Structure 1
Amino acid sequence: MAFKSTYLGTIQDVSGTSLNIALDNTAPSGLTYVDGEGYRIGQIGSFVKIPIGYIDLFGIVTQVGASAVPENQVLTQPYGYRWIKVQLIGEGQRNGSFQRGISQYPTISDEVHLVSEVDLKKIYGQPEKPYFVKVGHIAGAESIPALIDINKLITRHSAIVGTTGSGKSTTVASILNAISDPVNYPSARVIVFDLHGEYGNALKDRAHIFKVNADKTEGSFEKDLFIPFWALSFEELIGISFGQFSSEKDYNTVLERITNAKIKSLITYPKNGINTDCLNVDSPIPFSLNHLWHDLYTKTLGKFYPDKPGKPLAFEIDDKGNEIKGDPAKAIPPVFKPVNTNTANGDRVQHPIDSPLTNSQQLHSLGSKLRIPRFDFLFKPGDWTPDENGKTEKDLDSLILEWIGSDKPITIMDLSGVPNSILNTIIGVLLRIKSLMIRSW
């Protein structure tokens, strides 16, 4: 066969879209040149084409060398290293455009050729279409831009994968810069969940950045990220605040108390679109978690005087003679006198007969979270923090407006400061709120 600069060999085995190709002895090895451009032969990830009538089939090299020999020919091939395995990916008319999928298959002895830069333009070249954005260039042909179809990107699920240091974050930043271009896409609205704080500096000119414990120094472009606890579903809130209950009784007690707190809040501060008939425990109605916690703590862990009129609580006394009742707003628990069953030691003090919760561990856990600053974005969400009766300075509509109603096309939710123990839950909450944003927008 006469030598051709692009000729590699012939097909010897076809299994669905997988092909085994025997390299011809006259085919170049290592490096060849086509129209002045150098190409490596049989490189993993490189393209090949199979001319069939008026169309060209295109495939990607997936295996090279002895391991690419068909199983039934391993023992009979003296030059087993001159084989490549190819996976078909698409086809195109000889002078037309490329499309994914295969309408017909090659057969034995069909020729296989190296894909040149001219052929690569059929696969990747879409520069004249306005909905394609450039994110780089093709590794095998620097003159061909790497383009992404924005229409497909934003209407389908997508993934950018690669090893550490391969440029995933740089690629994402490049895509975000492209689709937030105010000239080409003036109505663009992009929400980024930044788990590691990677994109703030790269996109700060086009983004508002909401971050847990934001930098408040002069010149900082960060804003506080607040996620009001009362906007969480009951299961989400329980998982973050109380944790797993040891009994169904405790679970139902907290469920009932949160529901009642939301009903009381709604009656005191009515809201459009909801009333007590349709309210449930998952409704995003503000209520005071601090006061709910303090009340449960007092009634579960409190001690009382059984011999005094009204059986009052037995609080410890501070240096000024005041009862140490704690402070719900600051999540400071009350302090009670120790149990005393012997009247010779003073007034009798005993545990409550029927406490709301059987296990106090959840109360201690929640109390510490209400006091720890790293949870403030959730339990003390700025203007969205409820008072004792459930009143807040702002409602969820203003929070959503802050996130997507700004003058910048990108909103970055920097979650690098969120505790790992609740990160998955917070991402789920943001995804749900995001869906509400899309419907309302």
Structure 2
Amino acid sequence: MNNDPTKLGTVEDVNGASISVVLDDDAVKGLAFVDGRAYRIGQLGSFVRIPIGYVSLFGIVSQVGASAIPERIAAETDKIGRRWMSVQLVGEGSHKGEFRRGLSQYPTVGDAVHLVTEEDLTHIYGRPDSPKFLKIGYLASAESIPALVDIDSLITRHSAIVGSTGTGKSTTVAGLLSAISDPGRFKSARVIVFDIHGEYAQAMRDQSNVFKINPDKKRSELPLYVPYWALNFEELLSVTFGDSVGESERGGIIERITEKKLEALKNKPRKGVSESTLNVDTPVPFSLHQLWYELHLLIISTHLQTGNQSLSTVAFETDQNGTPVDIGDAMQVRPPKCKPQNTSAGAQPKVYLSQSNLNIRRPLEGLAYKLRDSRFDFLFRPGDWLPDKNGIPAKDLDELLRNWLECKKPVTILDLSGVPREILNILIGALLRIIYDSLFWARNIPEGGRERPLLLVLEEAHAYLGKEDTGPAAQAVRRIVKEGRKYGMGAMIISQRPVEIDTTILSQCGTFFAMRLANEQDRAHVTSAVSDNLEGLFKMLPILRTGEAIIVGEAVHIPVRAMISPPPKNRRPDSQDPVVYDDAGPGGWNREREPSDYEEVIELWRKQTSISPHIITFNEEEQ
């Protein structure tokens, strides 16, 4: 007869970190009472304890079952069959209640196995009053015990939040960001959110500054500017001339951009760079509009040739007095009016098309289109960061970084919902590289990341971090997850399709928040990326509730199944499911049909904004 109500059974088999446990006869009834509390026995995801001297090993139940035995033997021995559990060992605790991951020893056959009480769980999961831990919810199996994460490991060792659509992923992110940016605890927090769909502005409105291509002043949004001259050559080439430019043309473009940067540097010297150290990637302002104009004169305009002179004189269209009709305007991207080609025998002077060896006529015409397209103004006309013809802008990059990294609020949201899709990948890569390079070179001063780490939150990561993706965004993220920890940069990868994300990137994430995943390939991808031997635990992913997550990795003492506490309803991301039938009142499809104004629909479409001037914003509601 077993007098210890916590004893479940004994170890029967040990295979590395996996053990098999045979349940005692007294334990098979499925319910145990300890200190007045009832505990379910054999629940998947529950914990067990194996005392070995002064140390207790802890494990997670990953499988339960009952072996079939012949009826004749059962009649003589066990009328209810042989009950067993599979357990994955995850750590050990001392007699003082301290818990640590990993094992210093293994159990042997016959060792007693006990259920874990709430008192044991409190020692395992840490103290909620410790400033190092963030409370993000509570244990799914014990609502009285908070779910805690170690903020040091969460930020610097990278993390991933994965889950199918509708599992509460965005709400979980909003809750985490609210806890991380709590001004009462973390006065110097720095977080940058790459918000692809514009979901987080409302959720984080009290703790964030929102930068957007088409900002709404009523919502206190700020314009998002990314100066083209802060991009390196490969990034700039992709968004200007395109990647199809040949090698010889690339060399010519490099030479001319470098020349324009040298000219601008002579006009206004800048600290940290000289004419001898400058190269095409040095973030020195120059006028792209002036470069376009000069290349247009060289390649697209017609030229005069008189006698033995070379084709160096542009054949401007002139009036009766010989004055050019229109020489064009670089800043307005207006090409000059030139005379048509005329190479007939009697023509004097003869008018020739350009004979430049730089074969970029079509890419140059494409650049002119982009320079005129208002959708690209955030890049090619970046406000105070737009250089004049001499390559001198009103502000330098230090002011831009100060806006992103040193705002009065701890969270910076880069709302990329208005960015043209064809350059989204390039832009994300450029932004990440700019941030990485600045913090890398500032690693030994207070503005760097070693003294004040930075968290980069990457929403919808599967859209630009694919397995075979070699774009700028994927390259930048791979660099950050591999090297960023040393310089105080952490990444939080968020995705509904983890199977589409590069395994190299996922495997660098030290902590996983795995929410409900219905797709088998997604589950397998996450399981393969997690270092812990917890395949059995991840089999629970298809049945998790909305807002529930399995948290594993370095930010938690032990893998935990937790309910994440959502923020208040008026502080949740703009990603809630639309209501088809509203039980609470007339809404969705059960509302009365009202007069429609599709004229306003077209107005918003043309303005490229979803914010109607007729709807009261949350700032106005609070005033």
| TM-score scaled by length of structure 2 | 0.62
Post-superposition offset of 1:334: 4.4
Q: Calculate the aligned-residue CA RMSD, in Å.
A: 3.2
Structure 2 match to 1:179 = 180
Amino acid at match of 1:85: S
Post-superposition offset of 1:141: 0.9
Amino acid at match of 1:87: Q
Which whole-Å CA distance do the structure 1 matches of 2:209 and 2:324 have between them? 48
1:318-342: CA deviation from partner (whole Å, max 9, x where unpaired): 9xx9745443212234465654554
Structure 2 match to 1:405 = 406
Post-superposition offset of 1:57: 0.9
- Please give the secondary structure, in 2, of the residue aligned with 1:406: coil
Structure 2 match to 1:417 = 418
Which whole-Å CA distance do the structure 1 matches of 2:404 and 2:200 have between them? 16
Which whole-Å CA distance do the structure 2 matches of 1:32 and 1:7 have between them? 9
Give the stretch that moved more between structures: 207-216 or 420-429. Answer: 420-429
Structure 2 match to 1:161 = 162
Which whole-Å CA distance do the structure 2 matches of 1:307 and 1:160 have between them? 70
Structure 1 match to 2:396 = 395
Amino acid at match of 2:268: Y
Q: 1:273 to 1:30 in 2, by over 3 A?
A: same
Which whole-Å CA distance do the structure 1 matches of 2:174 and 2:293 have between them? 46
Post-superposition offset of 1:155: 3.3
1:4-35: CA deviation from partner (whole Å, max 9, x where unpaired): 54443332221211223334454235555544
Give the stretch that moved more between structures: 22-31 or 269-278. Answer: 22-31
1:89-132: CA deviation from partner (whole Å, max 9, x where unpaired): 10102341211111110122323232222221111131232222
Q: Which has the higher contact order (CA 8 A, sep 6+)?
A: 2
Which whole-Å CA distance do the structure 1 matches of 2:301 and 2:356 have between them? 11
| TM-score scaled by length of structure 1 | 0.86
- Please give the secondary structure, in 1, of the residue aligned with 2:27: coil
Q: 1:314 to 1:66 in 2, by over 3 A?
A: farther
Give the stretch that moved more between structures: 161-170 or 290-299. Answer: 161-170
Give the stretch that moved more between structures: 94-103 or 421-430. Answer: 421-430
Amino acid at match of 2:199: E
Structure 2 match to 1:268 = 267
Give the stretch that moved more between structures: 365-374 or 301-310. Answer: 301-310
Amino acid at match of 2:413: I
Post-superposition offset of 1:389: 0.5
Amino acid at match of 2:270: K
Structure 2 match to 1:195 = 196
Structure 1 match to 2:256 = 257
**What is the 5 A alignment of 1:29-40?**
32-40=32-40
8 Å CA contact retained: 2:27, 2:41: no
- Runs of at least 5 residues in structure 2 that lack an aligned partner in the other structure: 68-78, 448-623
Q: Determine which of 314, 326, 329 is the counterpart of 1:327.
A: 329
- Runs of at least 5 residues in structure 1 that lack an aligned partner in the other structure: 68-77
Structure 2 match to 1:50 = 50
Which whole-Å CA distance do the structure 2 matches of 1:278 and 1:284 have between them? 12
Structure 1 match to 2:293 = 294
**What is the 5 A alignment of 1:64-75?**
64-65=64-65
1:387-422: CA deviation from partner (whole Å, max 9, x where unpaired): 110111111112222223332222222223333333
1:253-284: CA deviation from partner (whole Å, max 9, x where unpaired): 11010111010001011122322122111111
Post-superposition offset of 1:288: 0.7
8 Å CA contact retained: 2:28, 2:83: no
**What is the 5 A alignment of 1:86-235?**
86-216=87-217, 219-235=218-234
- Please give the secondary structure, in 2, of the residue aligned with 1:170: helix
Give the stretch that moved more between structures: 308-317 or 385-394. Answer: 308-317
Which whole-Å CA distance do the structure 1 matches of 2:197 and 2:43 have between them? 35
1:325-373: CA deviation from partner (whole Å, max 9, x where unpaired): 4432122344656545546899854322234x22423213322221222
Amino acid at match of 1:112: V
Which whole-Å CA distance do the structure 1 matches of 2:152 and 2:325 have between them? 66
Q: 1:208 to 1:88 in 2, by over 3 A?
A: same
Structure 2 match to 1:242 = 241
Structure 1 match to 2:21 = 21
Post-superposition offset of 1:192: 2.7
8 Å CA contact retained: 1:32, 1:40: yes
Structure 2 match to 1:72 = none
Which whole-Å CA distance do the structure 1 matches of 2:87 and 2:107 have between them? 12
Give the stretch that moved more between structures: 159-168 or 133-142. Answer: 159-168
Amino acid at match of 1:54: Y
8 Å CA contact retained: 1:204, 1:221: no
Structure 1 match to 2:504 = none
Which whole-Å CA distance do the structure 2 matches of 1:417 and 1:81 have between them? 62
Amino acid at match of 1:169: S
Which whole-Å CA distance do the structure 2 matches of 1:234 and 1:388 have between them? 20
- Please give the secondary structure, in 1, of the residue aligned with 2:50: strand
Which whole-Å CA distance do the structure 2 matches of 1:337 and 1:21 have between them? 91
Which whole-Å CA distance do the structure 2 matches of 1:12 and 1:402 have between them? 61
Which whole-Å CA distance do the structure 2 matches of 1:375 and 1:232 have between them? 14
Which whole-Å CA distance do the structure 2 matches of 1:36 and 1:182 have between them? 40
Amino acid at match of 1:432: R
8 Å CA contact retained: 2:249, 2:359: yes
- Please give the secondary structure, in 2, of the residue aligned with 1:202: coil
Amino acid at match of 1:361: R
Give the stretch that moved more between structures: 336-345 or 294-303. Answer: 336-345
Q: 1:325 to 1:81 in 2, by over 3 A?
A: farther
Which whole-Å CA distance do the structure 2 matches of 1:80 and 1:286 have between them? 79
Post-superposition offset of 1:230: 0.6
Which whole-Å CA distance do the structure 1 matches of 2:47 and 2:362 have between them? 62
Q: 1:112 to 1:332 in 2, by over 3 A?
A: farther
Amino acid at match of 2:375: R
8 Å CA contact retained: 1:245, 1:251: no
Q: 1:5 to 1:244 in 2, by over 3 A?
A: same
Structure 2 match to 1:70 = none
Q: Percent identity?
A: 52
1:230-252: CA deviation from partner (whole Å, max 9, x where unpaired): 11111221122222244221011
Q: 1:305 to 1:27 in 2, by over 3 A?
A: same
Give the stretch that moved more between structures: 31-40 or 382-391. Answer: 31-40
- Please give the secondary structure, in 2, of the residue aligned with 1:203: coil
Amino acid at match of 1:84: M
Post-superposition offset of 1:42: 3.0
Amino acid at match of 1:157: H
8 Å CA contact retained: 1:3, 1:26: no
Post-superposition offset of 1:287: 0.7
Q: 1:84 to 1:338 in 2, by over 3 A?
A: farther
- Please give the secondary structure, in 2, of the residue aligned with 1:175: helix
Which whole-Å CA distance do the structure 2 matches of 1:337 and 1:23 have between them? 95
8 Å CA contact retained: 2:134, 2:151: yes
8 Å CA contact retained: 1:64, 1:81: no
- Please give the secondary structure, in 2, of the residue aligned with 1:133: strand
Which whole-Å CA distance do the structure 1 matches of 2:66 and 2:279 have between them? 66
